[in-house]
Amino acid sequence: MTRRRPGEGRRGLSRIRPGRAELHTLAGPYALNALPPRDRARFERHAAACDACAQEVRGLLETTARLAGAAAVPPAAGLRERVLAEAARTRQLPPVAAGLGAARWPWRARPAAASGGGPARPPWLRRAALALSAGFAAAAVAFGAAALVTQHSLSQSQARDHLLAAVLTAPDAKMTSAAMAGGGTAAIVMSHREHALAVSCAGLPALPAGKAYELWLMGPLGERAAAMLPRPSHGMTSPVVATGLRAGDMVELTVEPAAGSPRPTSPPILRVSL
Amino acid sequence: MLGVEMTDRPGRRLRAGHQGGRAADGDRAAGGSVPGGADLVALLNRVGRGDEDAFSAVYEQVAPTVFGLVQRVLRDPAQAEEVAQEVMLDVWRAASRFEPDRGSPQAWVATIAHRRAVDRVRSAQAATRRDDQAAAQAPEGHDGVAEAVEAKLERERVRRCLGALTELQRESIVLAYYGGHTYREVAGLLGIALGTTKTRMRDGLIRLRDCLGVTA
């Protein structure tokens, strides 16, 4: 159980079983595009929390680009005409600012849902679910293109968006929501296939300075710190992605010192079986 | 052409090592960045706004790399054309999402091209077609007079730097990148442990990076 400060909530992304040293050596096969999808996703999660790895990958990708350049062969002239003609009737993707990212998350895109006052009611949840299912399709489109970009440009936020999109678009993604003991609602999207879940909250009570909400995964072997929630804005928190989800886990939310706790020190305000 | 000296197929020796050895540090002065890089950023920016003339100019600059790399991995000129077309259309579609401060346009395009090529290779149907093709000599190509001097120099630099690697580093990189093999397959082909394969790939790429004077 690692102790984390609030700004380091993304550390949760790197909680992967193989040792860090072993993951680090995947930078080579990653840059050579020699990883199967599963290992590739694991490495991207690792690199999301490891600036040195992300930096190394950038340099190695520039290197493999030189290998590509060294293989250059002019294509037949006909290809140019076909490509240009096809492009002329192919729609382009909008810039990424309007694509993948926090704005895509429906709870943030709909502040009205929270300003209604009081804990969210079932109608809101239905709206959120609808917005989310629309989001699935949109995220799937954005993800295809974003994947092209993120492959060679691993910034933390991009890798986080990447992972978020992976959870949202997983074929087994399931959404649940639950009311919290002190008021407020948590919406959870989880994918056992991706071993990850995304959590977003609305109507959360404000906390005194020095306190923060911490998310836990509870399994048969005990609890694991999963992520620190960002400080709520108008009771809402932007989505947090936690990895390391296992079958039979429950998710819990507690109030902890802002630096995070190695194990829960207060009664859970939320407990959901996944 | 690289393929004259090296092969991405198992069971054949990669001979570049005989001519390398002293390439390290020698190529920094020769220019670490690919010529035309800055222009390409500006062009992609225009492509992102739907500028078809700019896209035509981007095509001129990157299509040989895209086609050459894809053909190298697929070893089938007909399939390589199909895939190269898909890659160029990816570039057209996603140009607005290219972020220059995160990497060079060349790396972005090469990443897309390699992904597409490998996706094709790893689909079972294509694998069969590729095996048929493998019996014939890969189309290594003699680009002859049409080839720019610049491209020749770059090819020579890369070849010398590959030659400066250890044999295992070079073979694992060439099998993975030009052969489109996963690192597990590479480990099997070379008969070495998985962990060794991973470190050889990483160490080799780091040496290659330093030899080529790549700054990123």
Residue at B131 is within a domain? yes
Percentage of chain A with pLDDT > 90? 17
Closest by CA to B43, choosing from B35, B52, B30, is: B52
Task: Return the number of CB contacts < 8 Å for A and B.
Answer: 236
What pLDDT shows up at residue A29? Answer: 97
Contacts with A105 (C-beta within 8 Å, 6 or more apart), sequence order: A135, A164, A200, A238, A239
Count of domains observed in chain B: 2
Of B103, B120, B140, at which residue does a domain stop?
B140
Query: Residue A114 pLDDT more than 70?
Result: no
Q: Kindly provide the ipTM of the predicted complex, given to two decimals.
A: 0.80
Q: Considering the domain boundaries, does residue B68 fall inside one?
A: yes
Complete edge-to-edge strand list for the sheet that includes strand A250-257: A222-228, A211-219, A250-257, A270-273
- Work out the average pLDDT over A60-81: 95
* pLDDT under 50: residue ranges of chain B: 1-36, 125, 132-146
Range of the domain at A259: 6-68+95-273
B16 found inside a domain: no
Q: Which of A26, A66, A89, A153 to mutate to test the interface with B (most CBs of B within 10 A)?
A: A66
Q: Are residues B58 and B116 in the same domain?
A: yes
CB-closest option in A61, A145, A146 to B103 = A61
For the CA atoms of A121, A127, A129, A132, the dihedral, rounded to the nearest 10 degrees, stands at -140
The encoded tokens of residue B112 equal 């897309």
Q: Which residues pair with A74 in a beta bridge?
A: none
Select from B140, B158, B178 the last residue of a domain.
B140
Count of domains forming chain A: 1
Q: What is the pLDDT of residue B65?
A: 96
Note the pLDDT of residue B88: 97
Domain of residue B63: give its range.
23-140
Position A147 pLDDT exceeds 70: no
Q: Two tokens at B127?
A: 């694998």
- So what's the pLDDT on residue A131? 42
Give the list of residues 6+ apart from residue B190 with CB closer than 8 angstroms, or none. B10, B168, B171, B172, B175, B197
Cβ contact A92–B48 (<8 Å): yes
Same domain, B103 and B188: no
The pLDDT value given to residue A157: 54
A152: chain B residues, CB-CB within 8 Å: 102-103, 107-108, 111
- Residue A87 is assigned to a structural domain of this protein: no
Evaluate if residue A251 carries a pLDDT over 60.
yes
Judgement on whether residues B133 and B183 belong to the same structural domain of the protein: no
In a domain, A57, yes or no: yes
What mean pLDDT comes out for the span A67-74?
Answer: 95
In a domain, B4, yes or no: no
Which neighbouring-strand residues pair with A189?
A175, A198
Same-domain status, B30 and B104: yes
Please choose, from the candidates A18, A22, A10, the residue with its C-alpha nearest in 3D space to the C-alpha of residue A50: A10
Domain limit, last residue, from B125, B140, B155:
B140
- List pLDDT tens digits, range A184-225: 888 888 888 878 888 888 788 888 888 888 888 887 767 788
Tell me which H or E stretch contains A2.
none
The structure's pTM equals 0.56
